[in-house]
Amino acid sequence: MNALAATSRNFRNAARILGLDSKLERSLLIPFREIKVECTIPKDDGSLVSYVGFRVQHDNARGPMKGGIRYHPEVDPDEVNALAQLMTWKTAVADIPYGGAKGGIGCSPKELSNSELERLTRVFTQKIHDLIGIHTDIPAPDMGTNAQTMAWILDEYSKFHGHSPAVVTGKPIDLGGSLGREAATGRGVVYATEALLAEHGQAIRDLTFVIQGFGNVGSWAARLIHERGGKVIAVSDITGAVKNADGIDIHKLLAHKDKTGSGVLKRENAADVKAKFIIEAANHPTDPEADEILSKRGVTILPDIYANSGGVTVSYFEWVQNIQGFMWEEDKVNNELRRYMIRAFHNIKGMCQTHNCNLRMGAFTLGVNRVARATTLRGWEA
């Protein structure tokens, strides 16, 4: 099941549990705006090449829209739509004053030089600059983009609108980026895991962990679990896997990765999973059919729209710091993130108890209910 179908299915289940009006349900599902632009740039050899850029702005009932920009050959409208919708519910679950958006350009960043990537980013920004903004839509890095990409967007946007550091998050520290942002998603995953384990009378130091994916999020999560005394016994990424029943030395593994340079849970492999807890650090890593199989086997799944919300939460902190023109110490960033993650977990558990549902539906009902309330209060029928 693709990401859009899965996200929409989860939304509809939540809407049914909440007893939402069918007209409101339809209104919440339809994106606020979909943007598709053509980006033509000269390559380094002088030839011209065209790419298609997308931005889906899903909902702004609770505040400006927020979401990443990805550079990937398989960026398509359906995927961008699903991820934009997911951001609407994710920001609501985290209780930060945003709605959801997502964007991307269908390109292979590894096949482009740095100057070609810069030209592409600037052309894309020129095409969408009047549709994004500090109080409208705030992009961030995603797959295939990074702090440098955000610096280019900030610079190009500022040519039209004056110096505007709050227009993007995930920026370099020297341009108003927040301390703690790089580790934020992985750190949030660990805080979420601690909140879940505390419910079960356990702690990270008592358990063994397997980490699937060793990019930014997986490597930070592994490092922080290791520091808390948790035993990481296996790590895998697209290049292969490392396993050690006595525990992997994460710091050595990180050093090796730095020196030397995707997996999804589906119905076919769900029965092979031996874990008691699954923490979804990626977006949509477990398809709904696998979800049902794992739930029936008593596996507790901490859903993506909560577990990986540390990144957007610290993006919110970065935006707040930029608007105030006052930067926080890293300890303050991490302490505030912990407070937000723990509070969100207890809010999700409250919805689970009210509606007698699992954690995924607890998170979806929490997020959808907050957006529905905001939409109704603003007078959507007028």
pLDDT digits (tens, 9 = 90+) for 105-117: 999 999 999 999 9
**Prediction pTM value:** 0.94
Q: What is the mean pLDDT of the chain?
A: 94
Tell me the two tokens of residue 293. 């199989």
Place of tokens 């300890």: 331
Report which secondary-structure segment, H or E, holds 196: helix 184-199
Report which secondary-structure segment, H or E, holds 345: helix 330-355
Tell me what the mean pLDDT of segment 275-290 comes to: 87
Q: Give the number of residues written for the chain.
A: 382
Tell me what the mean pLDDT of segment 135-143 comes to: 96
Q: Is the pLDDT of residue 237 over 90?
A: no
Tell me the two tokens of residue 162. 């004056």
Report which secondary-structure segment, H or E, holds 238: none
What distance in Å separates the CA atoms of residue 1 and residue 265, rounded to the nearest whole number?
A: 11
Residue 295 pLDDT class (50, 70, 90 cuts): confident
Residue 262 pLDDT class (50, 70, 90 cuts): very low
Q: Which of 43, 66, 90, 102 is labelled catalytic? A: 102
Tell me what the mean pLDDT of segment 309-336 comes to: 98
Q: Is the pLDDT of residue 158 over 80?
A: yes
Half-sphere exposure of 161 (CA within 13 A, CB side): 20
pLDDT at 204: 96
What distance in Å separates the CA atoms of residue 51 and residue 309, rounded to the nearest whole number?
A: 30
| Catalytic residue list contains 102 | yes
162-166, 255-259, 319-323, 373-377: which has the minimum mean pLDDT? 255-259
Residue 302 pLDDT class (50, 70, 90 cuts): very high
Residue type, position 329, single letter:
E
What distance in Å separates the CA atoms of residue 329 and residue 73, rounded to the nearest whole number?
A: 38
Q: Is the pLDDT of residue 11 over 90?
A: yes
Q: What is the pLDDT of residues 337-378, one digit of tens each?
A: 999 999 999 999 999 999 999 999 999 999 999 999 999 999
Q: How far apart, in Å, do the first and last CA atoms of the chain sit?
A: 36
Place of tokens 């989860």: 10
Tell me what the mean pLDDT of segment 62-84 comes to: 93
pLDDT at 152: 98
